Amino acid sequence: MTPTAEDYLRTIFVLGEEIQPVIAARVAEEMGVSPSTVVMTLRRLEEQGCLRVERRKEIHLTSKGKKVAEGTLRRHFLTERLLTDVLGMDWVKAHQEAHRLEHAISTEVEE
């Protein structure tokens, strides 16, 4: 799974926690990319079995996609805690750095 794919799945997961349905336009806005870029990526993720797009254009994660999204979020939160609690980094900087590091942490380290 590429870092970009993990970012998309994490974003869809977080947006899915809100009341509004998850659609490509909301994902594009949240990620700061064009709607056409989102549509292409969603197609690839759907082919990989990570999500499905319903007739009304609503996006839903499959169990595989949800597992990847939850793992990415968990690694992000763990990295933030390491950077703030152990290394004493400011939370804003830690959050930015955690976004970069979350993709490099192995499942073994996460566990």
Whole-model pTM? 0.89
Bridge partners, 51 (sequence order): 61
For 6-26, the pLDDT digits (tens) are 999 999 999 999 888 999 999
Give per-residue pLDDT as tens, 38-83.
Answer: 999 999 999 999 999 998 899 999 999 999 999 999 999 999 999 9
Strand partners, 52: 60
Buried b (16+ CB within 10 A) or exposed e, 73-103: bebbebbbebbbeeeebeeeebeebbbebbb
Give the three-state DSSP class for 61.
strand
Q: Summarize pLDDT for 96-109 with one digit per residue, the tens.
A: 999 999 999 988 88
